[in-house]
Amino acid sequence: MNAHATRSTLLLVDDEPHSLTAMRMALEDEFEILTANGADEALQALEKEWVHAIFCDQRMPGRSGVEFLTEVRDRWPETVRVIITGYTDASAMMAAINDAGIHQFLTKPWHPDQLMIAARNAVRLFQLARENERLVLEMRYLANTAKTRLERRRKALQEGAGFEAISRAPASPMNLTVDHARRYASFDLSVLIHGETGTGKARLARAMHLGSLHSDKPFYTFNLAGVPSDLAAIHLFGAKRGVLPGGVYKVGLMQKADRGTLYLTGIEHAPVDIQLALLRVLTEGTFTPVGGQEMLDTNVRLLTGTSADLAALVAAGRFLPDLFHALSVGQVSVPPLRQRRCDIAILAQQHLAELSLAHGKPLRGFTPAALDFLENYDWPGNLRELIGEVTRMLVFAQDEILGAELISRHILQSLPGNPARDGALDPVLVTDGSLKERVEQMETRILRETLARHRWNKSRAAGELGLSRVGLRAKLERYGIMDPSGRGDDEDEED
């Protein structure tokens, strides 16, 4: 590589040849030198070469040094401009600084050391300007990149854990619930989420937080069920020093969740003193830590969840009517899983994928018969019960596809195709109908459950039930029970 390739380039402009020669001799040991005997020749050089600094005489035929450097400033603003003059008129200097952006004046006669120092300073200024420009561009890029990443992350978070993460079928009753929750989310209102235990109220509350103006602030949850009043007050409102052992100061959720969202589930269990304190938070935006006297401000958004009929509790005098009205400015009802049968296959598959990944056991899905049983069970424990059942199936699974034989017996004994009935046998015992009809219902369920557990091996099922294969086949034909896999009786495996 050429040793001069990394050296800075200077353009010397003067109409006197001996002046150009003298400047070249003073600077050429350290810099690459270009020369021009006037403004026109200098412009041609600038169009061809990358120049770091220009040393130009002021008095030249045609255009003066200031006129030439003014054009340079417009076309090549990064090039440092130094003018050499034999005159020291202050007004002329100011005009040159304003018009041409002159970095430095050198007066004639100049000394070689003076010229070298000026050249080094000019080049250094050029390098600093370029470095500053690079840093500015880099900071802009990093800022834009960070902003883009933050927006992308926030969007992914909202989509991953927000409303889009609430799995449901196109015709699901849950769609109306999500639509209402999405509308309430963007308004800074208190919302009461009502639904049976295990229906996913907390997930809906988190989705509302992520879809709100508080999405970049904290989200906290607290369950009031079974928590004594004094302990609930400490958790919610904090405690001054001296209240708790060790003399520590406890920061409550109202302070932690300031400008964020606090989701309180089991609100029907809140004692009266907690209800009064919550009412103050909602109406005045203030609270008092346990053991304190001062009022602290909070701008928390309060979402509450309940599985009880709060209006009935108000009527019974067990819940403050003012708090009920303050909490239920917006109301969202989450349907139980028995009303979302079209969602069960989707939910089961979703949770199976999550559990499979969490436990490191790769599984692909469910057999049609397994889904048939899952979809026709009423799930009194809702999503929690479904997740528990899928977990048990995963534990005992031997194949990548989970079959009906892995399902718990009380679910297998449910009656497919009749969503109105509960999955347990008890309703059969108290329902209307003749003894023969009710016995047939029980017998049908027992047959299906036993066959499912034995993977429709009729020999084994018959043996467990104390029937012959012929007797079992007759009962199956009588009740219209068929192997969901479509296998015929001649394909049945023998013991």
Residues 68, 19, 102: CA angle, nearest 5 degrees: 35
d(C-alpha 355, C-alpha 261), whole Å: 28
Q: Which residue has the higher pLDDT, 471 or 244?
A: 244
pLDDT at 349: 92
Asked whether the predicted pLDDT for residue 253 surpasses 90, the reply is: yes
Q: Could you tell me if 381 and 389 are in contact, meaning their C-beta atoms sit under 8 angstroms apart?
A: no
pLDDT class of 442 with cuts at 50, 70, 90: confident
Is domain 164-335 annotated with CATH 3.40.50.150?
Answer: no
d(C-alpha 199, C-alpha 334), whole Å: 7
pLDDT class of 457 with cuts at 50, 70, 90: confident
pLDDT digits 0-9 by tens, 360-401? 998 989 998 889 889 989 999 999 999 999 999 999 999 999
Q: Is there a shared CATH topology between the 3-131 domain and the 164-335 domain? A: yes
pLDDT at 495: 41
Asked whether the predicted pLDDT for residue 428 surpasses 90, the reply is: no
Per-domain residue ranges for the chain? 3-131, 164-335, 340-491
The least confident of 82-86, 173-177, 437-441 is: 437-441
Q: What percent of the chain has pLDDT over 90?
A: 47
pLDDT digits 0-9 by tens, 133-172? 788 777 777 766 766 666 665 555 555 457 888 888 888 9
Asked whether the predicted pLDDT for residue 185 surpasses 50, the reply is: yes
450 exposure class (CB count in 10 Å sphere: 0-12, 13-18, 19+): buried
Asked whether the predicted pLDDT for residue 7 surpasses 50, the reply is: yes
Asked whether the predicted pLDDT for residue 327 surpasses 90, the reply is: yes
109 preceded by cis ω (within 30°)? Answer: yes
The CATH code for residues 3-131 is: 3.40.50.2300
User: Residue 216 contacts by C-beta under 8 Å, 6 or more apart in sequence?
Assistant: 154
> What average pLDDT does the segment 294-310 reach?
94
* Range with top average pLDDT, 118-132, 323-337, 361-375, 473-487: 323-337
> What average pLDDT does the segment 439-446 reach?
75
Is domain 340-491 annotated with CATH 3.10.310.40?
Answer: no
Asked whether the predicted pLDDT for residue 494 surpasses 50, the reply is: no
pLDDT at 258: 93
What is the pTM for the complete model shown?
0.58
Mean pLDDT computed over every residue of the chain:
84
